[in-house]
Copies of this chain bind each other. A is one copy, B any other.
Amino acid sequence: MGNAERENRWFKFYFASWYRKSPYFQRTVEAGCTSWDLYNHMLIPTLYDDDVAEYWHLLEHVALWDVAVERQVEIRGPDALRFTQLLTPRDLSGLEVGQCRYVVLCAPDGGIVNDPVLLRLAEDHIWLSIADSDALLYALGVQAFAGLDVEIREPDVSPLQVQGPKSKPLVRKLFGEEVASLRYYRCAHAELDGIPLVVSRTGWTGEVGYELYLRDSSRGLDLWDAVMEAGREFQIRATAPSDQRRMEAGIFNYGNDMDITNNPFEVTGLERLVELDNDNEVIARAALERIRAEGVRRKLVGVRIEGPPLGMWLEDFWPVRAGDRVVGRLTSASHSPRLGINMGYAWVPIELAALGTPLVIASPDGPMDAEVVPLPFWDPGKQIPRS
Contact = CB atoms under 8 A, between A and B. Distances in A.
A317 B12 CA distance: 21
A357 interface: no
Interface stretch (A3-11, A199-207, A364-372, A378-386): A3-11
Given A108-B140, A141-B139, A145-B142, A10 B13 contact: yes
A333 to B, nearest CB: 9
A260 B145 CA distance: 19
Interface stretch (A127-135, A216-224, A289-297): A127-135
Contact of A145 (B136, B146, B332): B146
Per assembly, the copies of the chain total 2
Most chain B CB within 10 A, of A21, A36, A107, A331, is at: A107
Contacts of A255: 18, 41
Contacts of A280: none
Interface in A218-274: 253, 255-256, 260
B21 A15 contact: no
Interface in A269-284: 283
B313 A16 contact: yes
B12 A283 contact: no
A138 interface: yes
Interface residues of A, number: 57
B41 A13 contact: no
Interface string A11-35: 1111111110100000000000011
A144 interface: yes
B108 A144 contact: yes
Contact of A86 (B86, B144, B256, B316): B144
Interface of A: 4, 8-19, 21, 34-38, 41, 46-47, 86, 107-108, 111, 113, 132-147, 154, 253, 255-256, 260, 283, 312-317, 331-332
